[in-house]
Amino acid sequence: MQDIKNRIEAVLFTVGRAITFEELASLCNLGSVGAVRDALNELAEDYEKRDTSLKLTVDNNVASLNIKKDYMYLTTKLLNDSELDKATQETLALIAYKKPALQSDMIKMRGNGAYDHIKKLKELEFVISEKKGRTRLLKLTPKFFDYFDVVEDKLQQKFGEIENAGEVIKAEPQEK
């Protein structure tokens, strides 16, 4: 069983995203999804017992190995420096907020530099685009949700919470 757990852990670490039990079984050369499920349950217990910066999440036949929130601050700067500059992050945030977004609207809001941002986001596979009249419709990919550890259905709810927090701050009287 330890060998199976080690193989699963290696695959989860390498792919860096949520992966189905079926994919794990295939990538680990295991014939049984049940063996994957049993090994994941044991591995999850191992992670709970250990004092580690990683957490194993197993939910609805999908598993992922992620960094615990307490340690995310250590990796945030690395990710920001290596993959997305601030302007590209802001463009991605706007696309996520509009979900889906018209490329022409992004260019109006962000300027011509947004063409480069969108190109980079497509290369990184965070967004896809499809023709829509004379412009393109920009949509978030599953990789976006995996990478940023966000559930697609909860994204708009999170934006709503942020907007509500902003309105509360604006509504509070300013001290002079």
User: What is the chain's pLDDT, residue by residue, as a tens digit (176 residues)?
Assistant: 888 899 999 988 887 778 889 989 998 888 888 889 999 999 989 988 888 888 888 888 888 888 888 887 777 666 555 567 888 888 998 898 888 899 999 999 989 999 999 999 999 889 999 999 999 999 998 888 877 777 766 666 666 666 665 554 444 444 44
Instruction: With CA atoms as reference, report the closest residue to 126 among 97, 105, 111, 148.
Output: 148
Query: Span 83-166: which CATH code?
Result: 1.10.10.10
The fold for domain 2-69 equals Arc Repressor Mutant, subunit A (1.10.10)
Is the backbone of residue 65 left (phi > 0), alpha (psi -120 to 50) or beta? beta
Domain boundaries, the chain: 2-69, 83-166
- Which value, to the nearest 10 degrees, does the dihedral of the CA atoms of residues 82, 129, 134, 115 take? 0
